[in-house]
Amino acid sequence: MGNGQSSSSSQPADGRAGYVDPEEQARRDRQDKQFGEAMNSNGVRVYQQRAAEDAKVNAAAAGGGFNMDVAAMKALLPEWQGVADKLFKARQLARALPTLRKPADDSASTLQKTAADQHASAYSASLEQQYTYAKSYADKLKEAVDKYEKQDHANTDGMNRQG
C-alpha cells in the first residue's frame, strides 16, 4: 500500500530506522516464544535423560545388580584385612630403601643408587595405593557385615515383639 501505512495497522510507518509495525512485532514475539519453548524443551529433554540414567544406576546400586551374602562377606573380610596388614608392613620396609648407602664411591655406584632410589620411590607410591585400596575394601566389607547384622538383629527383634 503506497500511502505509508502498514497493511493491517492504522498507525503510519514514520520512516524511522528500526520501526517495526505492531503486526510485525506480534509475529516476532510469537517466534521468540516458540524458540524459547523449543530451547526449554531441549533442556528439559537433556535433564530427563540424565535423570533416567541416574535412576538406572541407583536402581542397580540399590539391589538390582550384584549381591553378596553375608557369609561370603564374612569369609572375605579376614583375607582383605590380611592383605592390608601385609601391605602396611611392606610400606614400612620400603621406607628404609632410600636410606641404604651405595656400594662404592664411584660414578657407576652413584648412578645405580640414583636409579634404585627412583625405583624405591615408585615402589613406595605403588604400595601406598595398594594399601589404601585394600584397607578401604576391608573397611567397606566390615561396614556391610555390621550393617547387615544390625538390620538382621532389628528384624529379629521386631518379629519377636509381634509374636
C-alpha 142/C-alpha 76 separation (Å) is: 10
Is residue 107 located within the same domain as residue 91?
Answer: yes
Residues 33 and 86 in one domain: no
Task: Measure the CA–CA gap between 101 and 28, rounded to whole angstroms.
Answer: 82
Render each residue's pLDDT in the chain as its tens digit; 163 residues: 444 444 444 444 555 666 778 898 888 888 877 777 766 666 667 667 777 777 776 666 665 555 678 888 889 899 999 999 999 999 999 999 999 999 899 999 999 999 999 999 999 999 999 999 999 999 999 998 888 888 866 666 666 676 5
Query: Can you tell me whether residue 5 is helix, strand or coil?
Result: strand
Cα–Cα distances in angstroms (integers) from residue 7 to residues 10, 24, 31, in the given order: 8, 10, 20
State pTM to two decimals: 0.51
Regarding whether 113 and 45 lie in a shared domain, the answer is no
Measured CA to CA, the distance from residue 97 to residue 2 in angstroms comes to 97
Q: Please check whether residues 104 and 56 belong to one and the same domain.
A: no
Neighbours of 160 (CB within 10 A): 8
Query: Same domain, yes or no, for 33 and 109?
Result: no
- Structural domain span for residue 84: 68-162
Domain co-membership, 118 together with 145: yes
74, 115: one domain = yes
**Pair 34, 107 in one domain:** no
